[in-house]
Structure 1
Amino acid sequence: MREVRAGGGTAMTRYGTAASILLILLLVYAAVMFFPSFAGFAGDGPMVPTAVVALLTWGGFSVLTLHGLRRALAVRRGEENRFDATVFWTKTLSLIGALLSIVTAFAFGFGAFASCGPVWLSGLYHWVGLVGSMLCFGAWFAAPYLAREYAGEAGQRVERPGWGRLVVVGAVVYGLWAVAWLVGWMVLRGSIDAGTYPTAAKSPYQLPYPEGQRSWVIQGNNSHFNHKGDEEFAWDFRRQCGTPVLAARAGTVVDVEDGFEGNGKGKKNNFVEVKHDDGTVAKYLHIQTGSAKVKPGDTVQQGDALAEVGNVGNSLTGHIHFVVEKGGDSIPVTFQDVDEDKGIPRTFEHYASAK
């Protein structure tokens, strides 16, 4: 006779329902990773192969999860001989999902970052992958408890993982994640002495991208990477390639180069240079090949389109490298539309233009 639990239904039916719900949630999560990956085909460079691998990875995971779900649904219908297979697949798929999430967060996240294409895709891979890995590890830990709770006598022989194992895995995985971000932040953040900058309220500069749009600062002033020396007071604003680069301040265009292609160390750069009425020169680097909207001698107003964002020269991803120079040396400036941080954009922060 089948064991009956309080609340109606057999123990196996209740377990099959619980296991099915867990596996359906894994399928939904896989879909969140799978379908947005098609956006990667709009990019170039590493983004396209990254999207292909992501589709194969999460598509394959979905097929395996459907395989496990069939067994869980069979148990729900009363096929108790499928119990052991269902326990195996709920645990195994949860663990596989956690491991694939970590690969997605770092490998796929970087592949989508180091490209021109949708800027949100790398963030989705990274942050959803990290949160998803936590949930999948939790499901892996909880799966045996579901069996012991709902499957009656048969569930009591399912081995439960110890808390120590979960703590160790979590400490190693997310400790390394925290260290990676901390090292990146320390290398790129720079050291800012706000007292050496002009007051933001009187600044003649605004952020060099369209009104209301937010950009992430990859690298700020005086970093330990390559914003130092003559380039000490430069910013890298991450932007999607092909979007407008706008004049941060009115002036006269003095030099334009948009004929170079390719990115990487040693590659030549594209740029627009605009001279202001006080003799300073703003430089907008890494513009897209053939995208310049202005030529030397043109007068531009604040907010006028100069070119389009690119990934040309010594560049890893689509972004605007912005710097103001006087006598060939970079100088500290602030932005009137940056309300926080005394008008000085900081590394790893997001800022919206107020044009």
Structure 2
Amino acid sequence: MTHVDIDSTRPVLLRTVLAAVVAAACSGPAEPEYAPPEYVDCAVFDDSRTSPYVLPFPVGQRMRVTRTFTHYLPSNGGVGLYAIDIEMPIGSPVHAIRAGVVVAIEERFSDADHADYHENWVMIRHADGTVARYIHITTNGALVDLNQTVAQGQRIALSGNSGASFGPHLHFDVQTCGPNLPPAYNALPCGMTRPLSFRNTERHSCGLIPGKTYRAEPFEASSTDRRAG
């Protein structure tokens, strides 16, 4: 007959139980699955692994997305549906999500001037005719010149809090064509925004998730972006 020394097994059992309790406490409740608004069709997004876009901040940094599809109102024809807000302290570097040519710059307004249409911005036209808009940059925050060709991932501006802004952040989107300038920021048909996914961060299937923090990973520019840049 085999005899088991119960007293000798108690420390091991106790450590096992304690480890399980600590692990459960640290993991917290399961994060609920994100459900986009019912008017968003996730099928229109490119596979993030092969997307032509990269995140608009430096490789190695983490930034929190604060707003995505809620820019959209069902009554406005889709304007702003795929715009993204990222929380950024004033003066943070903004990088080009795709290569192109600078087609519009505004940088004269103060970060303390929160009047509508007093946003500072840089707009870049891509090879396919779409236009990326980087809005709310700081006073004199443009780091590129009009008609300059920029490479994907190039630093193009410093973020700010100019114009109709709820706090320091970067608002960016890609419009079908343009540039659309104030007061016709979102004039159709050019004002229709494009769905955006990003190949240099964790995989995502329906755009970035508001409230989530993303890390910009190293990337290799596509052949199109190398030619454009």
Which bin holds the TM-score, normalised by the shorter protein?
0.5 to 0.7
The whole-number CA distance in structure 1 between the counterparts of 2:133 and 2:117 is 18
Shift of residue 236, structure 1, vs aligned partner: 0.2
Is 1:301–2:151 an aligned residue pair? yes
User: For residue 220 of structure 1, what is the aligned residue in structure 2?
Assistant: 68
The whole-number CA distance in structure 2 between the counterparts of 1:296 and 1:343 is 33
Q: In 2 relative to 1, CA 224–298 (structure 1 residues): closer, same or farther, beyond 3 Å?
A: closer
User: For residue 49 of structure 2, what is the aligned residue in structure 1?
Assistant: 201
Amino acid at match of 2:194: I
User: For residue 353 of structure 1, what is the aligned residue in structure 2?
Assistant: 216
User: For residue 311 of structure 1, what is the aligned residue in structure 2?
Assistant: 161
Deviations 1:218-250 (A, max 9, x none): 101245679x73111100000111010111111
| Residue pair 1:190, 1:220 contacting (<8 A) in 2 also | no
Consecutive unaligned residues in structure 1, runs of 5 or more: 1-184
Q: Which has the higher helix share?
A: 1
Is 1:230–2:79 an aligned residue pair? yes
Q: 1:279 aligns with which of 121, 129, 146?
A: 129
Task: Report the aligned-residue RMSD.
Answer: 2.3
Q: Which has the higher strand share?
A: 2
Shift of residue 201, structure 1, vs aligned partner: 1.8
The whole-number CA distance in structure 2 between the counterparts of 1:224 and 1:278 is 24
Q: Secondary structure at the match of 1:337?
A: coil
1:236-275 correspondence runs (5 A): 236-261=85-110, 262-266=112-116, 268-275=118-125
The whole-number CA distance in structure 1 between the counterparts of 2:53 and 2:209 is 16
Identity of aligned residues (%): 33
User: For residue 64 of structure 1, what is the aligned residue in structure 2?
Assistant: none
| Residue pair 1:338, 1:344 contacting (<8 A) in 2 also | no
1:21-40 correspondence runs (5 A): none
TM-score, normalised via structure 2 length: 0.67
| Residue pair 2:174, 2:193 contacting (<8 A) in 1 also | yes
| Residue pair 2:119, 2:162 contacting (<8 A) in 1 also | yes
| Residue pair 1:338, 1:345 contacting (<8 A) in 2 also | no
TM-score, normalised via structure 1 length: 0.44
